[in-house]
Protein backbone atom coordinates (compact mmCIF):
# COMPACT_ATOMS: atom_id res chain seq x y z
CA UNK A 1 0.00 0.00 0.00
CA UNK A 2 2.93 2.34 0.59
CA UNK A 3 4.01 2.06 -3.04
CA UNK A 4 0.48 2.79 -4.27
CA UNK A 5 0.34 5.84 -2.00
CA UNK A 6 3.74 6.96 -3.32
CA UNK A 7 2.41 6.69 -6.88
CA UNK A 8 -0.74 8.63 -6.04
CA UNK A 9 1.14 11.40 -4.21
CA UNK A 10 3.22 11.78 -7.38
CA UNK A 11 0.18 11.84 -9.67
CA UNK A 12 0.49 8.30 -11.07
CA UNK A 13 -2.40 5.84 -11.36
CA UNK A 14 -1.09 2.29 -11.95
CA UNK A 15 -4.36 0.86 -13.39
CA UNK A 16 -3.15 -2.76 -13.38
CA UNK A 17 -2.60 -3.73 -9.76
CA UNK A 18 -2.75 -7.50 -9.26
CA UNK A 19 -0.69 -10.10 -7.38
CA UNK A 20 1.43 -10.79 -10.46
CA UNK A 21 2.68 -7.18 -10.34
CA UNK A 22 3.83 -7.41 -6.72
CA UNK A 23 7.39 -8.68 -6.45
CA UNK A 24 9.24 -9.76 -3.31
CA UNK A 25 12.72 -8.24 -3.06
CA UNK A 26 14.01 -11.45 -1.41
CA UNK A 27 12.75 -14.63 0.23
CA UNK A 28 13.71 -13.37 3.69
CA UNK A 29 10.99 -12.62 6.22
CA UNK A 30 10.05 -8.95 6.11
CA UNK A 31 11.36 -8.46 2.57
CA UNK A 32 10.22 -5.39 0.68
CA UNK A 33 7.43 -5.75 -1.86
CA UNK A 34 8.12 -3.97 -5.15
CA UNK A 35 5.41 -2.72 -7.49
CA UNK A 36 6.03 -3.65 -11.14
CA UNK A 37 4.55 -3.21 -14.63
CA UNK A 38 3.74 0.44 -15.14
CA UNK A 39 2.86 -0.14 -18.80
CA UNK A 40 -0.75 0.97 -18.30
CA UNK A 41 -0.03 3.73 -15.78
CA UNK A 42 -1.25 7.26 -16.40
CA UNK A 43 -0.40 10.63 -14.92
CA UNK A 44 -3.22 12.65 -13.36
CA UNK A 45 -3.42 16.10 -11.81
CA UNK A 46 -4.65 16.09 -8.20
CA UNK A 47 -7.97 14.28 -7.90
CA UNK A 48 -8.64 14.47 -11.64
CA UNK A 49 -11.15 11.96 -12.96
CA UNK A 50 -11.94 11.26 -16.60
CA UNK A 51 -12.66 8.33 -18.88
CA UNK A 52 -9.17 7.09 -19.70
CA UNK A 53 -10.39 3.93 -21.45
CA UNK A 54 -10.33 0.31 -20.37
CA UNK A 55 -7.04 -0.72 -18.80
CA UNK A 56 -6.16 -3.47 -16.39
CA UNK A 57 -7.00 -7.07 -15.66
CA UNK A 58 -10.73 -7.95 -15.66
CA UNK A 59 -10.95 -9.40 -12.13
CA UNK A 60 -9.40 -6.26 -10.64
CA UNK A 61 -11.31 -3.55 -12.54
CA UNK A 62 -13.36 -1.13 -10.46
CA UNK A 63 -17.09 -0.60 -11.09
CA UNK A 64 -16.51 2.84 -12.62
CA UNK A 65 -14.15 1.41 -15.25
CA UNK A 66 -16.63 -1.36 -16.09
CA UNK A 67 -19.42 1.24 -16.41
CA UNK A 68 -17.23 3.49 -18.60
CA UNK A 69 -17.49 6.31 -16.06
CA UNK A 70 -14.79 8.85 -15.19
CA UNK A 71 -12.16 7.41 -12.89
CA UNK A 72 -8.89 8.28 -11.20
CA UNK A 73 -6.77 7.15 -8.26
CA UNK A 74 -9.57 5.21 -6.50
CA UNK A 75 -9.35 2.47 -9.17
CA UNK A 76 -6.02 1.44 -7.63
CA UNK A 77 -7.57 1.32 -4.16
CA UNK A 78 -10.30 -0.98 -5.49
CA UNK A 79 -7.66 -3.32 -6.94
CA UNK A 80 -5.80 -3.27 -3.60
CA UNK A 81 -9.03 -4.37 -1.94
CA UNK A 82 -9.33 -7.28 -4.35
CA UNK A 83 -5.71 -8.28 -3.66
CA UNK A 84 -6.28 -8.10 0.11
CA UNK A 85 -9.41 -10.22 -0.25
CA UNK A 86 -7.41 -12.87 -2.13
CA UNK A 87 -4.71 -12.80 0.56
CA UNK A 88 -7.32 -13.29 3.28
CA UNK A 89 -9.52 -16.01 1.78
CA UNK A 90 -7.27 -17.57 -0.87
CA UNK A 91 -9.44 -16.94 -3.92
CA UNK A 92 -10.81 -13.93 -5.84
CA UNK A 93 -14.20 -12.38 -5.01
Active-site residues: which are they? 16
Q: Round the CA-based radius of gyration of the chain to a whole number and report it.
A: 13
Closest CA to 19 of 36, 4, 5, 7: 36
Q: Name, in order, each residue with C-beta under 8 angstroms of 79's C-beta and a sequence gap of 6 or more.
A: 14, 16, 17, 18, 56, 60, 61, 62
Amino acid sequence: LESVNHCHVNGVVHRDLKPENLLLASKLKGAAVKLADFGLAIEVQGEQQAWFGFAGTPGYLSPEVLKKEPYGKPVDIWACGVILYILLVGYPP
